[in-house]
Structure 1
């Protein structure tokens, strides 16, 4: 069993297989494209927001405490790998969310924040702003700050601060976004 669990992709594959077994056992008659997309939206959202919280609750506050000779382990190995899953988690969360709204027939209403769809619309817009921040502000600045692209020392420092502050904006926005996404169906139509 240890050999199986040592491989992340095998672990994920087995988890997917177990989810399919649960689906076939309990919901075989009601599994639709929208149900699968909702599940994927939640999965990718957990990856994205989980890493956002890891960066803001763990990595950023801990980095000043790490001895200088150990910091390259984080900046050269851990952070780039985490940022890969972070940005693709954001992209796939947004894609699955837009597809979910489309298949459930409320994409336009949510974007326009029409009556009955205002809360989910707010959540969608916050998610889109956050994903924009990930791809067009955080990631380009992190590439400079981590030395993945050439930059002068002062540019690296400024980029690190910009990435951190934008990540904090996303943390701030994630709280109302998660509220909107998880409670919109509880409101009367």
Structure 2
């Protein structure tokens, strides 16, 4: 019996002109995630670039706003959506743009606190609606139930099987 492939017709295989089946369903799922990430993040990156920010800079600013008080650099790094190997340089760029400010602790000069400036808060406020609108547009074809399932599946893909999130 001929092997039927989930690659035929519409889908990633057709999008990339693949002539043979994927090695496995897991490979196809992974490549779909990569392709989807590229598509969605490209739109997001373009939006942020119009406001002079990178994805990581925006993420750091949102973390600071969400915390509502100064944070140490390592605390910001721990909460980043994508791993940030050089958080100090990221904070340097934000400080140079006057979006954050640093202050050394009076008790321990090794400790540096990072806080959001009024200019940083203003740029986030300016971006709130466009970012929200972009997310709505990107997922407009999904029902709430589908989105809940997608969120659960993506979380599971990052889990180590025990329900604990891997770094």
TM-score grouping bracket, smaller chain normalisation? under 0.3
- Structure with bigger strand share is 2
- Structure with bigger helix share is 1
Structure number with larger C-alpha Rg? 2
Higher RCO, 1 or 2 (CA under 8 Å, sep at least 6)? 1
Report the TM-score when normalising by structure 2.
0.28
Report the TM-score when normalising by structure 1.
0.25
